[in-house]
Structure 1
Amino acid sequence: MSEGVKTAEEKAAEARRGPGARAGQRHGPMMGAGVPAEKSQDFVPSAKRLLGLLRPERLPLYAVLALAVASVGLSAIGPKILRRATDHIFAGVVGARFPAGSDKAQLVEALRARGDDTLADLVGGMPYLVPGQGIDFGAVGDVLLLVLAIYVVASLLSWAQGWLLTGAVNRTIFGLRRDVEDKLNRLPLPYFDGQPRGELLSRVTNDIDNVAQSLQQTLSQLLTSLLTVVAMIAMMLYISPMLALIALFTIPVSMAVTAVIGKRSQKHFVQQWKSTGELNSVVEESFTGHELVKVFGRQDEVRASFRAKNDDLYAAGFGAQFVSGIIMPTMMFIGNLNYVIIAVVGGLRVAGGSMTLGDVQAFIQYSRQFTQPLTQVASMANLMQSGVASAERVFEVLDAPEQRPDAVGAAVLDDPRGRVEFEDVSFSYDPANPLIEHLDLVVEPGQTVAIVGPTGAGKTTLVNLVMRFYELDAGRITLDGVDITALTRHNLRSEIGMVLQDTWLFGGTIRDNIAYGRPGASEEEVLAAARATYVDRFVHSLPDGYDTVLDAEGGNISAGEKQLLTIARAFLSDPALLILDEATSSVDTRTELLVQQAMSALRQDRTSFVIAHRLSTIRDADVILVMRDGAIVEQGSHAELLARDGAYAELYAAQFSGAAVVVDA
């Protein structure tokens, strides 16, 4: 058979894995993972949506704005008042050079009379000069104390502003995490089939943390910086409109520089966080499958995959930080150039008597405080770009199509009997590759239905449809005559117990893992379930018994013991329907016999679906379904199917004839 031709079973197996697997988005533990690059949203719409999350915090933000205005306003008038101290000091130094006994007007006339017009203009522009009098330290002290009090109050207001803003941002991020968690619970199973776990975890952890950091650092600084710019412009216009025009020249230059550099850095930040998610996927998958990595000797490939993704992250991170980092030194150069021009022009105006030295000193201080927030805003561009890039990735999760909502006024089954009927059911993971077509099946209450067939035949898909993990393409499935789509998913699944081939345990005690099957179960009920499923046999050999703490992977007990725990969990749930998907595949032969006895008791008066490859475990089933390519090709009891000498007989002979049998695809 040529490489490009697939058998029907291979196509069915590919369809069962879903479109995400075919697209190469799911990888084994030795392969790198990551979603294909997608075009990011525009910065402005994403930033608006991010800020829209703060809408419920309007009142605290209004208070933050009021406190910021008050704090910046007080800080703005500080240099204006402080200039008086400069003028007092300068007037004292200059006044001490002249003889006492005359007033300032007489001194100016005398200076002009001897032709010293420049000095006369300088003395005339000094409001506090008294000929023959030195520095008035009392007046200087009063000014300094007043300015100190103003700055202390401004600092307290700024502290209160930061406290309120921190609370508002953290409540917003708390709500965002809650929304993402709720969204994950509403997403259909196919969404997770097409998402590498590390990539998804990176979105709901790293990216949300980055959004929180960006909001916390940029909102406060951005608000304060913008208000400071406005206040500084107002004070500079008040002191000297001409010098203010020189200072304002930096605004359009700064905006142009920031826009040009910011536009270039955005794509790097988007790629940086995308590469972070891809790197997390490689780490998560290689760690989860570290035993396979070592068994197959694929460490070099894992390291190569990690290095490749790490190199991508390095390149994206370096590009993002370097390009955005150019903003800060560029803005500092523009600010220093502005400072030199103001100092030269201001000095000429002081010499001409049109400004006092205190005014120039205050104006220079305002100009520095004016360019500083512009520089801060520019330096925050990289943080804002990074935060918005992370927000886009989180919004992609929030915008993902959700599973079909439960029906309005959904029916409730309080005590289901367990009659399951498939009526003309059709389903496919990919419309181009049909899997199950026009399937009809009736399972009576209390029956045990075994499902067998080759890999990819649709066995697990069949029970997943009963659980409503996927929506049908056509037909319907009923439980006690009620369409399962008319029930809430919670009501439907609460009546079903499921034991999978792949065990799942959480970090906690053995007792907690069993009790997960039915919250609120008593201690005696938990112990009874453990005894019935032979968990009690190995628990007493553990140091802490039922209080033994398992890690998230259950690595401190064997695979068979983990399987027994999941069976005990299902036993405790006391379901109306029981689904066993290769539930005894990980236990030894002796334990399997014991578990089979427990399962026989558990299946009493319950409808059971048993998926099995070992046909010896399902010989006592009421009905055996043989599936191939999504269709039921045979059904009947074990004896009936053997007598028919069809597909089931072939499978049975392949297992028990003692030699390998080649089965045609």
Structure 2
Amino acid sequence: MWKFFLFIIRFIENGNKVYISNENKIKELFMKKILRKHFHLIFIGVFIGILQMFALTKVQFIKGQVLNVAMQKNMNELPQVIFKLFAAIFIMAIFGYLFSFVNCVFMERSSKSLRELFFQSFLGCSYKKYFYLDEGELMAKYSKEISVIEQNCFSLVGTLVQMVLQILFVSAALFYLNSWLAVISFVILVAPVLVPKIFQKKVSNRSYDKMSKVEKNISVVNGILNGFEIIKNFGIEKNIFENFKKSNDNLMDAENEYEKSYAVSTGVSFAFSLGSQALIMIIAGFYIYFGFLKAGDFFTIAGLIASLRVPLYWISTMFQTLIATKPIRKSVFAFIENNIPMRETAICNPLDNQQDLSVFVEDLSYAYEDKNFILDHIHLKFEANKKYLMIGESGCGKSTLMNLLLNYDELDSGRISVNGIDIKELSDMEKIITIARQEAVIFSGTIRDNLTLYDTSISKDEFLETMLKKVGLNKFVTEGLDYILEEDGINLSGGEKKRFSLARALIRETPILILDEPLANLDGENMEKVENLISDIKNKLVIVISHQVSDKLRQKFDFVMELKGGRINVETLPEA
């Protein structure tokens, strides 16, 4: 059945060209995946829709029966027929509500699946690829384009079921009756416009709650975007995805409440619309009783023709909608297709379980596009379990060298290897290297989550509290590990954010640690604490990029490297 919906969409978009072109393959792939996943809801919707359309047709026939009984002036039977009419309307309203509710659930779950598919794809792309992504475009895809698909694609599935069934049932009923008489008896029926006012406040409140949850969800996503390097470096895609799912579930709950209230409003409005038609028939029955009208099945046919007006009008509207949203669907699904899915299992790394790692840089050169070489034929050796201080003027290439070490970009020439293995052959450098950038990243969440990054294996509070004390964050030990840090650490000072980032890096056990300006924005007392902490690091290859280190700390390094003019000078310091 899901193939039928894809066929209809292709037919509307491409006319008689219903084949799947290369351009449409990406879109088809993910539409199939989502429709298949929620096919049971489509099946339930079809079943309820059949019952709803049967009730709709029955209502039209009972209307005619009311008039016929009235024309016969059979007052004994008339109340029974009127009761049957309202009973049929009530049953139809129930099925209408159930259909709307199932359709809302289908939209909700399909939307949730699409958002999770999109987010899995985002987390699956490499940091190298992420570096070239336009964050504004990415957020537009998530916040706007996916919403367009939800409202103008997934919503069409349920409406398509309803409209097709309505056309089939009404056409069959007209065929059963005298259809030539129906041609001259088309009546335009207008549903009451004031019914939605009854539910306006409730629907408005649900809509506001939904909007606030959307904003919160985007806030969480934006924080994750800002911390993407840490996510990749720590290899916590799954943990972040689970955290995202919690926020997404809250959003879906708010949307579900909104859709339920909207379904009630739609169902009641639909019932009032049918009630108004029934009232017309009852009034017409009295007119017939008093001899002002001579009509039998005329109003039944007129009602059936009126029932055809909506689906026929909707098909033309659907045509415009699908054509208008085609580029958006193509854009979103192309993004999903073009990114590597989030890995489910760890990739075998030849350096797994090796603690003593050395890095070799051989004849490395690198330039940004057509500019001069920022790194020019660099030769370096970073030995295992040694400490290196890298200094140099701003823009001299220190951070660039670290990015190349992390395999974030391609070398113009030369080679970087770890224990003799080219980093191009290592798909997950984040397993062996931890980096703490100068721009500290704080996620919206507890202190515990920000330190452990959702790693449940780090469960000892005493260990986390000790680390907070070592970096001079004693006051947060008093606040407790469940203290909430706001997005981007807006309730922290710059120095506190820096020390949280440093504590997080030190908690993680990797053979190589890179600290980018760890002493920036720190006062004298806390700078001394951090310097002592760096001095005490053992059994790691430590690379510190800094402009401000005391002579005492400088002497704790094994080598001092100065980068200048694309070249590097290495000073070997005597052992303390």
TM-score tier, shorter chain, comes to: 0.5 to 0.7
> 1:508 deviation in Å?
3.1
SS of the aligned residue for 1:440 comes to strand
Question: Quick one: distance in 2 between partners of 1:147 and 1:548?
Answer: 62
Q: Is the 8 A contact 2:470 2:529 kept in 1?
A: no
**Are 1:579 and 2:514 counterparts?**
yes
Specify the alignment match of 2:171 in structure 1: 233
Q: Is the 8 A contact 2:451 2:504 kept in 1?
A: yes
Cα distance, 1:418–1:247 mapped onto 2, change above 3 Å: farther
> 1:417 deviation in Å?
0.4
SS of the aligned residue for 2:108 comes to helix
> 1:378 deviation in Å?
4.4
Q: Deviations over 1:435-467 (max 9, x none)?
A: 556543221112222223333332112222332
Q: Is the 8 A contact 1:233 1:244 kept in 2?
A: no
SS of the aligned residue for 1:137 comes to coil
SS of the aligned residue for 2:379 comes to strand
Cα distance, 1:184–1:160 mapped onto 2, change above 3 Å: same
Question: Quick one: distance in 2 between partners of 1:382 and 1:73?
Answer: 29
Question: Quick one: distance in 2 between partners of 1:611 and 1:183?
Answer: 33
Question: Quick one: distance in 2 between partners of 1:609 and 1:590?
Answer: 23
Select 1:498's aligned residue among 435, 444, 447: 435
Give the percent of matched residue pairs that are identical in Structure 1 and Structure 2: 21
Specify the alignment match of 2:570 in structure 1: 635
Question: Quick one: distance in 1 between partners of 2:418 and 2:444?
Answer: 34
Specify the alignment match of 1:342 in structure 2: none
Specify the alignment match of 1:534 in structure 2: 472
TM-score, with structure 1 as normaliser: 0.59
**Are 1:565 and 2:496 counterparts?**
no
Q: Residue type of the partner of 1:625?
A: M
Question: Quick one: distance in 2 between partners of 1:378 and 1:487?
Answer: 54
Q: Is the 8 A contact 1:211 1:388 kept in 2?
A: no
Question: Quick one: distance in 2 between partners of 1:500 and 1:433?
Answer: 25
Cα distance, 1:230–1:478 mapped onto 2, change above 3 Å: same
Question: Quick one: distance in 1 between partners of 2:427 and 2:406?
Answer: 11
Q: Residue type of the partner of 2:379?
A: D
SS of the aligned residue for 1:358 comes to coil
**Are 1:589 and 2:570 counterparts?**
no
Q: Is the 8 A contact 2:103 2:155 kept in 1?
A: no
**Are 1:610 and 2:550 counterparts?**
no
Q: How does 1:399-410 map to 2 (within 5 A)?
A: 399-402=337-340, 409-410=348-349
Question: Quick one: distance in 2 between partners of 1:635 and 1:385?
Answer: 63
Cα distance, 1:514–1:58 mapped onto 2, change above 3 Å: closer
Select 1:456's aligned residue among 395, 401, 410: 395
> 1:502 deviation in Å?
0.5
SS of the aligned residue for 2:356 comes to coil
**Are 1:622 and 2:561 counterparts?**
no
Select 1:357's aligned residue among 264, 287, 295: 295
Question: Quick one: distance in 2 between partners of 1:226 and 1:469?
Answer: 53
Q: Is the 8 A contact 2:13 2:319 kept in 1?
A: no
Specify the alignment match of 1:61 in structure 2: 42
Q: Is the 8 A contact 2:185 2:302 kept in 1?
A: no
> 1:366 deviation in Å?
1.4
> 1:149 deviation in Å?
4.1
Select 2:536's aligned residue among 585, 590, 601: 601
Q: How does 1:198-213 map to 2 (within 5 A)?
A: 198-213=136-151
SS of the aligned residue for 1:635 comes to strand
Q: Residue type of the partner of 2:484?
A: V
Q: Is the 8 A contact 2:390 2:562 kept in 1?
A: yes
Q: Is the 8 A contact 2:65 2:81 kept in 1?
A: yes
Cα distance, 1:471–1:524 mapped onto 2, change above 3 Å: farther
Aligned residue-pair number = 450
Cα distance, 1:244–1:623 mapped onto 2, change above 3 Å: farther
Specify the alignment match of 2:250 in structure 1: none
**Are 1:444 and 2:383 counterparts?**
yes
Q: Is the 8 A contact 2:185 2:298 kept in 1?
A: no
Q: Residue type of the partner of 1:54?
A: L
Q: Is the 8 A contact 1:576 1:607 kept in 2?
A: yes
Q: Is the 8 A contact 2:359 2:418 kept in 1?
A: yes
Q: Deviations over 1:354-392 (max 9, x none)?
A: xx8222212211111111233344456676567656534
Q: Deviations over 1:185-241 (max 9, x none)?
A: 122334444444344223223433443334564332332123212322332333334
Specify the alignment match of 1:89 in structure 2: 70
**Are 1:484 and 2:433 counterparts?**
no
Q: Residue type of the partner of 2:65?
A: R
Specify the alignment match of 1:411 in structure 2: 350
Specify the alignment match of 2:56 in structure 1: 75
TM-score, with structure 2 as normaliser: 0.67
SS of the aligned residue for 1:138 comes to coil
Specify the alignment match of 2:5 in structure 1: none
Q: Is the 8 A contact 2:376 2:567 kept in 1?
A: no
Question: Quick one: distance in 2 between partners of 1:234 and 1:403?
Answer: 49
Q: How does 1:205-284 map to 2 (within 5 A)?
A: 205-215=143-153, 217-242=155-180
Select 1:165's aligned residue among 103, 107, 122: 103
Specify the alignment match of 1:467 in structure 2: 406
Q: Residue type of the partner of 1:622?
A: D
Specify the alignment match of 1:29 in structure 2: none
Question: Quick one: distance in 2 between partners of 1:627 and 1:430?
Answer: 20
Cα distance, 1:245–1:357 mapped onto 2, change above 3 Å: closer
SS of the aligned residue for 1:372 comes to helix
> 1:584 deviation in Å?
0.9
Question: Quick one: distance in 2 between partners of 1:524 and 1:448?
Answer: 28
Cα distance, 1:410–1:575 mapped onto 2, change above 3 Å: closer
Q: Residue type of the partner of 1:530?
A: L
> 1:495 deviation in Å?
3.1
> 1:501 deviation in Å?
0.8
Q: Residue type of the partner of 2:57?
A: A
Q: Deviations over 1:41-87 (max 9, x none)?
A: x9665986674331222233123223212321331243234313222
Question: Quick one: distance in 1 between partners of 2:324 and 2:351?
Answer: 48
Quick check: which has more Rg, 1 or 2?
Answer: 1
Cα distance, 1:546–1:579 mapped onto 2, change above 3 Å: same
Question: Quick one: distance in 2 between partners of 1:475 and 1:358?
Answer: 92
Specify the alignment match of 2:195 in structure 1: none
Q: Deviations over 1:167-201 (max 9, x none)?
A: 33322222212111111112233444444434422
Q: Deviations over 1:71-120 (max 9, x none)?
A: 21331243234313222323x3xxxxxxxxxxxxxxxxxxxxxxxxxxxx
Q: Is the 8 A contact 2:149 2:329 kept in 1?
A: yes
Specify the alignment match of 1:176 in structure 2: 114
Question: Quick one: distance in 2 between partners of 1:408 and 1:494?
Answer: 10
SS of the aligned residue for 1:204 comes to helix
Specify the alignment match of 1:513 in structure 2: 450
Cα distance, 1:240–1:506 mapped onto 2, change above 3 Å: same
Cα distance, 1:194–1:47 mapped onto 2, change above 3 Å: closer
Question: Quick one: distance in 2 between partners of 1:380 and 1:87?
Answer: 39
Q: Is the 8 A contact 2:13 2:322 kept in 1?
A: no
Q: Is the 8 A contact 2:121 2:341 kept in 1?
A: no
> 1:518 deviation in Å?
5.9
Structure 1: unaligned runs, 5 residues or longer: 1-41, 93-134, 251-276, 289-355, 640-665
Question: Quick one: distance in 2 between partners of 1:429 and 1:138?
Answer: 93
> 1:581 deviation in Å?
0.8
Q: Is the 8 A contact 1:451 1:612 kept in 2?
A: yes
> 1:591 deviation in Å?
2.5
Q: Is the 8 A contact 2:391 2:560 kept in 1?
A: yes
SS of the aligned residue for 1:442 comes to strand
